Amino acid sequence: MRARSTGEDFVDACGCRALGATRSDAVAARCPADALLALTATLAQAQSAWVAVPHMPTARNGLGGTSAPCPKGEGFRGTCVYAIGGQNANSPALGTVEAYSPATNTWRSLPQLPTPRYAVTATTAPCPQAVRGLAGTCGYAIGGFTGTQWPDPAHDVGTVEAYSPATNTWRTPPQLPTTRSFAAATTAPCPPAVAGLRGSCVYRRRRPQRHAGGVQPGHQRVAFAPLPPDPPRRSRCGDRALSPGRRGLARCMRVRRGRLQPH
């Protein structure tokens, strides 16, 4: 979709400007697989538009992305965007790791992911002090898929690997309790009621299970612990949740007095 800028100009998602346009209609142009788009605070206020920045050196999909301090010794400064793993026509599972520095507007290739994989999740958290060779803030590559044709649960992995920009090094903390691919991960304070976790935790989620892993500095063990299941899933049924029906179909359930009732 085109995003409106100042005046009557429009800029589409691939950074192509259409001068003299009078409405923000859909455009047929497709972005290349190695495109990186950026919306800066200044540009957002001035133009409300996306612009294209230099493409990734390696075109791919199914990669993990996160932001973390830039690696030392690469001519970068500040915070970098990290593109981790993925796949393309040349390989079903890549170990490619590349970093983009907004401050220098350049990409650099970094040490390879120890376990090449597709459908990997990435997030950023303090490095685990219990793992040698890591310091400061780390980028984490979590889970993923190592087969040639997704989905195939036999090739889902629970591998966790941590990259330290301060040492430009990958290390392998403990694995996830549950193998999975195409999941979600984020970093937040650890849940106070879960034994063995404190400080900052990495949360990894894919139905039907969620786990939290403690990886904070000063804590001499890295562990994962299961968390309570999600509340009932909601849908466009409004205040109704989805419940399995006959023959795999979903039917609407209305929440009344804390219970799910058919609607």
Query: What pLDDT is recorded for position 202?
Result: 81
Short-list 125, 126, 74, 123, CA closest to 100: 74
Q: Are the CB atoms for 60 and 94 separated by under 8 Å?
A: yes
Is residue 33 domain-shared with residue 117, that is, in the same domain? Answer: no
Question: Using CA atoms, how far apart are residues 141 and 122, in angstroms rounded to an integer?
Answer: 5
Is residue 91 domain-shared with residue 3, that is, in the same domain? Answer: no
Short-list 160, 78, 76, CA closest to 125: 160
Query: What pLDDT is recorded for position 261?
Result: 43
Query: What pLDDT is recorded for position 24?
Result: 34
Please state whether the peptide bond connecting residue 208 to the residue before it is cis, i.e. omega within 30 degrees of 0: yes
Is residue 193 domain-shared with residue 179, that is, in the same domain? Answer: yes
Is residue 42 domain-shared with residue 60, that is, in the same domain? Answer: no
Task: Count other C-beta atoms under 10 Å from residue 153's C-beta.
Answer: 11
Is residue 161 domain-shared with residue 60, that is, in the same domain? Answer: yes
Q: List all residues 6 or more positions away from 44 whose beta carbon is below 8 Å from its beta carbon.
A: none
158 DSSP assignment: E
Query: What pLDDT is recorded for position 196?
Result: 77
Is residue 170 domain-shared with residue 62, that is, in the same domain? Answer: yes
Give the burial class of 42: count Cβ atoms within 10 A of its Cβ; 0-12 exposed, 13-18 middle, 19 or more buried. Answer: exposed
Query: What pLDDT is recorded for position 201?
Result: 86
Q: Are the CB atoms for 84 and 64 separated by under 8 Å?
A: yes
Question: 188: helix, coil or strand?
Answer: strand
Residues (pLDDT < 70) of the chain are 1-34, 36-48, 204-263
Is residue 108 domain-shared with residue 96, that is, in the same domain? Answer: yes
Domain that holds residue 251: 233-263
Cα R_g (the chain), whole angstroms: 22
Q: Are the CB atoms for 3 and 50 separated by under 8 Å?
A: yes
Is residue 92 domain-shared with residue 28, that is, in the same domain? Answer: no
Tokens of 13: 């998602």
Query: What pLDDT is recorded for position 49?
Result: 79
The 10s digit of each residue's pLDDT in 2-61 is: 444 333 333 333 433 333 333 333 333 445 666 766 655 554 455 567 889 999 999 999
Is residue 259 domain-shared with residue 219, that is, in the same domain? Answer: no
pTM of the model: 0.65
User: Residue 63 sits in a domain of what CATH number?
Assistant: 2.120.10.80
